[in-house]
Structures are given as C-alpha cells and as structure tokens.
Structure 1
C-alpha cells in the first residue's frame, strides 16, 4: 500500500526532543521532513541519521516558517502531518494513523488531533487545556499556514475537517523546565502578540478564520479572540486567570499547574497589555514629533 502521509517538523536546537519525536513515528514508515533554522547542536545530524530530508531556512516567526516548509518540502503524499519537535505521537494515535483509509475521508480536507500539554512534568488537564484540538493533518496543497498570525502557528483548510478525540499528541518542552527559558521565550512572544493586536486595532491585520462558537476548533478560538479584543486591557488578564482557575477547574492541576496557569493565563497577558500601551504611546509620540 502506498504511503498516504508525510511528516514535517520544525527544529532549532532540538537534540533533547527530536529523538523522542522520531522514535514515536518510526513504525509508520512515512517520509519525514525537518525544516531547521540554524541549529548549533546535534539536531541536523540526528535528523539525517534517521533518514529525514533536512531543509535549512532562517527563522522569522512560526507562521512564516511553516509557510516556507509547506511550499518547499518535496512532499509526494496526498496528506501531510505538521508537528512540533517537542511533541510525541502516542500509541493510540499511531494506531489511528496505521488504520487511516483515505476512502473513509474522501470529503475531508483536514483532521484535528487532541493534545495533552505538560509543564515541568505535569499534565495540565484543566484550565481549558484539555481537550485541546489542533489542526495537524491535512491534504497537501489545500491546508496552509495562517500568515495573519505573528506568534500562533495555526493551519487553515477549506472544506470539511474531522476531529480525532481519542489518541493524543503529548507536548512537553523539556527546555521549559528552566523557568528562565520559559520567561525569555514568552517575553519574546508577548512582543509579537502586542504588535499583532495593535495592528488589528488599526485595521492593519484581518482574521483568516470566520469566528463561530459552534464551528470548528479554529473558528471557536477566533470567536473567543474576538471577544477578548473588546475587553478592557489590564482587566482581562485577571478575568481570564479567574476563568481558568475557578470555572475551568485549573485549581485541580495542583501546585505546578497553578504556577502554569498564573504565568500563561495572567502574567503573559498582563505583559502583552503593557506592551500594547507602550506601542500606542510610541506611535502617538512619533506623530507629534513630525
């Protein structure tokens, strides 16, 4: 039987994660493409030793890197699966891929996988983090990277998409066990999110996904974001943290989970709001200086 799908994974200094990811997909005998952005560790050698096709491209942001990958990887299969190096395909999800029959998906262009996210070794089960559906598998040439985003790397497909609720992606960035790495990473992300929100406030950036509460997982996220943008800055981080902790039971994730929800649900959003005000003030000062 011909191979129906290929894997694409982005890397940068992922020698901690790449062997784990590759081991989880070995039995599928599918082509693997690695798009690296200049690793200085053993990432590229690990990929080449595995037999993956490696492409090198300078990194600007995740959506643009995925756009490059989809346009330049010599994929020959009808479907492509786009994953991160710190993700692992579980045995249950692998079995679904082994049993994948294209005839059963004749009218489907995309498939959402269910993700389990880990922070400092703990599965973040509550606070809106599970179930968490990501469009990761789609027909090659139909799915594309959403370039309206600067930080989130979301894929978009036209037509029908299915959700695989059982069988999971496990996501755990071991580098984030060092909290200084996590803070530095999200401080950079907050720059991108603040710029993007200012652009949307000024109608310089439009949404790709149609916001619909009862739509696809991507459309539901767009619906929530539309309401988020209308909330007052500095108040919304507190509201969001309260929602995650109380109404979405984040408190049940224990000490490590509460730290994660505080950092990701409150601190990060508060820093974004501060940076939005800084950008708006800078724009005002620049206009007055002219």
Structure 2
C-alpha cells in the first residue's frame, strides 16, 4: 500500500490539479509549513490528513512525514504541490511493475513545464529525484546544494522512466527570483553530504567549483548543448532564468570571499 505525501505552503493555485491526479484509493498526508491562503481548506475538502511543521528544509520535512505523521503504509510517494503524476505511474505501482522488491527508494524523472508549456529540451533530461521511499529504511539528508534532498547511500536505488510533470513556473518572476536568491546563498559553498547518494549532475557541479565561467556555461548548456532553442521562447526564458541564478550564486560567493578576507 502507498501513502502520498505533499509538502505545502500557500499552494492554493497548484494543489487542486495535484490532488485531482491522485487516485482516490490512496491516503494523502499534507505536511504544511504555515499556509495563509486556502491550501488547507482545499486539502480538507479532499479528505487529506493534515499536519503542521515549520519549514526545516526538504530533507528534514520528508523525514518529519515518515517519523511523525502516523503513516503505516510501507511506501510513501512524495509529491510537490506543483507536480502531477500520471495514472500509469500508480497503475504500475499497483501491478508490481516498478520492481521494488530489492529497492528502498525509486528515482523518478521529471518533465518541466514553464508557463504551462512543456520543455522538451532546455532542462537537460533526464532529471531524477528520490520520490518513492520505503518508510522503514529510507532517510533523507540535504544534498550538496544545501537546499535539495538526497537519500543516504545505504539505500538500494531503483529507477523508472515514468516521469511526472513539474509545473515549476507560471510567470511569477519576482517571487521566483526572491526564492532563488535564498537558494543561491546556500549554494555558495558546494559541500557534498557524507554518506549521501549523489547524482551525476551533482558530482559535475561540485567538480566545476565556483567560477565566473559557469555563468556562460549555464546558458550554453541549456540553450545550445541541450537544444533549448528548439523549445522556442520558453526555452530561451528558461535558459536566461537559470543563467541569472548561476550569476547570483557567483556574486554572492565573491562577496562572501571578500568578507572573509576583510575580517
């Protein structure tokens, strides 16, 4: 059996679509970190069990769900409120087609949507995330960025090609930039977490370090190397957004280094 866990804070715009895609046969647990909009009313209408916990980070909030939310099913599927899992994913789980007998965590790929347009090239696929977790054996830890999550390297890993849809951006650029300024501050020093599973992308990021060349490389990677130009204006917008993010990390890293030299 499976419990779906959704982490929320002010997700009234995203949550209805997310919930509508989850089959009624699965219990849903909401872990909320202080919503002030209609998020909790929407969750209650669907019959979700609701828990509250101040935001400690993705890894810690997922562990809170496993430890403190009275979940008795052996498997938990972590779904963000701006994500939609296809019916085929749930059907494959029920039919035992995901081959989880020898696995503790399933790495699930994502397909990104910008302003509702599917990005087929720019993000650089596949992008895997640890989303289906065996409750008794999985622990989440912060990954090398300081804000993302990974699982401990004692976990047995399996992969699926059944991707979920991630509607990560609807055009709220100021809100997006504010959030990513905070994320950039955590990425100033990339520090791999001891004992955590690292993706190929993570290893490459740590290897490259913090150079101004990363800013140029970020744009070239998304727009040219991975074919973001074939996504049209959405591909260009995606490449520019994450080039800005890379520049923000670099500027903050440079300021931090200067402050250390001056102290």
TM-score by length of 2: 0.90
Q: Distance in 2 between matches of 1:283 and 1:48?
A: 49
Q: Compared with structure 1, are the counterparts of its residues 86 and 279 closer, same or farther at alpha carbon in structure 2 (3 Å cutoff)?
A: same
- Is the radius of gyration larger for structure 1 or structure 2? 1
Per mean C-alpha deviation after superposition, the further-off stretch among 61-70 and 15-24 is 61-70
**For residues 159-210 of structure 1, what are the alpha-carbon distances to aligned partners after superposition, in whole Å with 9 as ceiling and x for unaligned?**
4322111x32111035x4222222222122112222x43xx3xxxx644435
Q: Distance in 1 between matches of 2:115 and 2:131?
A: 24
**For residues 241-286 of structure 1, what are the alpha-carbon distances to aligned partners after superposition, in whole Å with 9 as ceiling and x for unaligned?**
212222211111111211111211x110111011011112222223
Q: Distance in 2 between matches of 1:219 and 1:113?
A: 12
The residue number in structure 2 matching 1:215 is none
The residue number in structure 1 matching 2:122 is 127
Structure 1 ranges of 4+ moved more than 3 A: 154-157, 205-210
Q: Compared with structure 1, are the counterparts of its residues 69 and 38 closer, same or farther at alpha carbon in structure 2 (3 Å cutoff)?
A: same
Q: Distance in 2 between matches of 1:280 and 1:67?
A: 33
Alpha-carbon distance, 1:21 to partner? 1.1
Q: Quick one: which of 181, 187, 192 aligns to 1:193?
A: 187
Alpha-carbon distance, 1:101 to partner? 6.4
How do residues 78-89 of structure 1 correspond to structure 2 at under 5 angstroms?
A: 78-89=74-85
**For residues 185-236 of structure 1, what are the alpha-carbon distances to aligned partners after superposition, in whole Å with 9 as ceiling and x for unaligned?**
2122112222x43xx3xxxx644435xxxxxxx432332123222xx51111
1:14 and 1:85 in contact (8 A); partners too: yes
Q: Distance in 1 between matches of 2:194 and 2:244?
A: 25
Which structure features the higher share of helix residues? 1
The residue number in structure 2 matching 1:214 is none
Aligned length: 262
Q: Which runs of 5+ in 2 are unaligned?
A: none
Does structure 1 residue 276 correspond to structure 2 residue 253? yes
Per mean C-alpha deviation after superposition, the further-off stretch among 61-70 and 31-40 is 61-70
2:110 and 2:126 in contact (8 A); partners too: yes
TM-score by length of 1: 0.82
1:13 and 1:43 in contact (8 A); partners too: yes
1:92 and 1:168 in contact (8 A); partners too: no
